[in-house]
Structure 1
Amino acid sequence: MTGITKATSLADTGILRLAAFSDGPVGGNPAGVLVTAALPPRAEMQRIAAEVGYSETVFAAPEGDAWRVRYFSPEAEVAFCGHATIALGCVLAERTGDEVFALDLSVGRITVEVRRDGMGTRATLTSPPTRSTAADPAVIAAALDLFGFVSAQLDPALPPALAHAGNDHLVLALRERATLARMDYDMADGARLMQRHELTTINLVWVDSPRKLHSRNAFAVGGVVEDPATGAAAAALGGYLRDIGWPHGGAIDIVQGEDMGARSLLHVEIGATPGVGIRVSGTTRIIPL
């Protein structure tokens, strides 16, 4: 990402708009970014996020040796958002140069590292600590019913799980790529299910190979049917794969957004130490007004 200018901001708000985890000049997940001397009141941040209309808008202000950061979907505050963190890192790098930025979230401190070269800008976040557990059979059944799937369509090689990296995500692996492509659900029903079980997304995945997965993330609780790229869910998935001894070889690549015409690429580095934050990286592109 280069040359962030006035042309990329919403009128009189200072909001910048970027797509994170893009596939070169296309795809990626749009995020609003607002960097100010002090964070606006909570109600104002929520109003701005609803006006922007993206799955998340990130707000950042300097605080001590770090940046105080909050994320809002159009419907509610979110504890951690990966794609908005990647977008924020690129905006900060335009101001101060490439470095590792410390970000203080409601769930603790994380970092985002930015490096620019002749090929563009690449940002890498390190997520909050991870944990995972087997998913409750009742939650699995409710999620399958939501999407119109049956248990026989699940991939037994990757059992359903509740994966956490700042937020909780239900992970359901599907046997067939075609089943993933057919993802559809009722927004109101999805929001109620996610609220009831305190889920941020339902992460549907298909295993192309041990080191390459395809993903679709339902985000009804945030007022969005689906995210084209979800860094927080990618980090949670990486932590889950580490917990079960998946043959990831230290990293996986996730293709997301393909079925909604916004192909996005996420690279996930999985360290060996259980519970330690996962590194998720990708590129950004400016969204012109």
Structure 2
Amino acid sequence: MDVLRIAAFSDGNKGGNPAGVVIGDALPDAAEMQRVAAEVGFSETVFAASAGEGWRIRYFSPESEVPFCGHATIALGAALVRKFGNGVFKLVLNQANITVEGFCDGAHVAAALQSPLTRSLPASSELVGEALALFGYQPGDLDPAIPPALVHGGADHLVLALKSRQALAAMAYDLRQGQAFMRREGLVTILLAFAETPRLFHTRNPFASGGVYEDPATGASTAAFAGYLR
């Protein structure tokens, strides 16, 4: 099995969030995809197989399947462009249909995804209290201008907006405790955010549900967050 390793959201050859990408004629069975994702060790590995006019897609973290992953979709878009040339590629996920568009200009490859539809609702005080305790935060650390919310954009996330960048930088938690909490509540990640300006946000994404302490840069939760802020 040929596994590509591509960093999405990179700045040239620096930074970004690496994803594994597997493109084949058919998807392996779920156990094999889970095994490969654990072996690759990135926060997500995406598997794609040709399906009619589009591609059937599944995403796996090292410890679980996830319904949607933004950075792995971007990485897949880059891989498809290298293989088939510039264009818009239709993707069939477990619970949604989206597209990724890829561009190649010489050595530079870029991609842009269409997120699944977003939605949001207020988070309960009990859920917020347990999440704050997980990170050692207090209610006073929250930004009252952006209330805690459950957001969805192909996957479910909890948003906690903090009043200071210092609080964001101090993020720390127990991985297994966080995993138990997030899996029980059906959360793929928790998005911690600090608003430097109304249009500039610093974010971090604990991804304990997938066995990953922190996802370096995420597209799924960011798209869901953007939908919430509209």
Q: Which interval holds the TM-score relative to the shorter structure?
A: over 0.9
> Partner letter of residue 75 of structure 1?
E
> Partner letter of residue 15 of structure 2?
G
Structure 1 residue 23: deviation in Å?
Answer: 2.1
TM-score norm. by structure 2 comes to: 0.98
Structure 1 residue 119: deviation in Å?
Answer: 7.6
1:188-267 → structure 2 map (5 Å cutoff): 188-242=176-230
**Long gaps (5+) in structure 2:** none
Tell me if 1:165 matches 2:153: yes
Q: For each residue in 1:240-269, what CA deviation from the matched residue of structure 2 results, as whole angstroms up to 9, or x when unmatched?
A: 011xxxxxxxxxxxxxxxxxxxxxxxxxxx
Higher relative contact order (CA 8 A, sep 6+): 1
Q: State the distance in 2 between where 1:212 and 1:203 align.
A: 15
The structure 1 residue matched to 2:166, chosen from 158, 172, 178, is: 178
Q: State the distance in 1 between where 2:150 and 2:11 align.
A: 28
Q: State the distance in 1 between where 2:110 and 2:125 align.
A: 39
Change (3 A) 1:104 1:174: same
2:2 corresponding residue in structure 1: 14
State the SS of the aligned residue for 1:183: coil
1:59-138 → structure 2 map (5 Å cutoff): 59-117=47-105, 120-138=108-126
Question: In the comparison of the two structures, how many residue pairs are matched?
Answer: 230
Runs ≥4 residues deviating over 4 A: none
1:46 corresponding residue in structure 2: 34
State the SS of the aligned residue for 2:63: coil
Structure 1 residue 154: deviation in Å?
Answer: 0.4
**Long gaps (5+) in structure 1:** 1-12, 243-289
> Partner letter of residue 121 of structure 1?
V
Q: State the distance in 2 between where 1:23 and 1:225 align.
A: 23
Name the Cα RMSD after superposition: 0.9
Structure 1 residue 108: deviation in Å?
Answer: 1.5
State the SS of the aligned residue for 2:50: strand
Q: For each residue in 1:191-221, what CA deviation from the matched residue of structure 2 results, as whole angstroms up to 9, or x when unmatched?
A: 0110111100000000011111010000001
Q: Percent identity?
A: 58
